[in-house]
Amino acid sequence: GAAHLTSAPCWVIYLQVLQEAVWPGGRLPAHPRPERSAAEKQETKERCLNCVMQLIPELVADMLGSEKFRLSLETMLESLQDHQINKHLIYCMCDLLLEFLIPESCDEAFQRSLLQTLAKATGRDGPHIRSTNS
């Protein structure tokens, strides 16, 4: 179940897959990938749309109608081409992941304690980190 998916051995695998995806063979590529042609981009877009359409139950397509269903998914996928939206989405996902892995991270007292510990460890115990108990 979920406990296994979030276990340390699984996280090792997740991080190894991510590392290999970002740094194939453990190093950055010597040359950037060649720019994809418009036809390649369109083919990828169609494959992605078809994959997403298969993930969603047919009931949704039946309720909306096939054309409206397709247009809705195309609009959703097009919105994921926006740099700002993607950045915000990644921040939200990281925030949710942190909250899932460390539930106490949402607690203000925990955050304050963590900041004070980090500040002391780096020798930056300044006025910007204050306890509300004083």
Identify whether 15 is part of a domain.
no
Identify whether 19 is part of a domain.
no
Identify whether 52 is part of a domain.
yes
For the chain, which ranges sit under pLDDT 50?
Answer: 127, 129-134
In this predicted structure, what is the pLDDT of residue 104? 85
Identify whether 97 is part of a domain.
yes
Q: What is the pLDDT of residues 36-54, one digit of tens each?
A: 999 999 999 999 999 999 9
Identify whether 93 is part of a domain.
yes
In this predicted structure, what is the pLDDT of residue 125? 52
DSSP H or E segment with residue 70? helix 66-79
Residues 71 and 52 in one domain: yes
Whole-angstrom Cα distance, residue 97 to residue 95? 5
- The answer to whether 129 and 119 have CB atoms below 8 angstroms apart is yes
Identify whether 75 is part of a domain.
yes
In this predicted structure, what is the pLDDT of residue 106? 83
pTM reported for the whole predicted model: 0.49
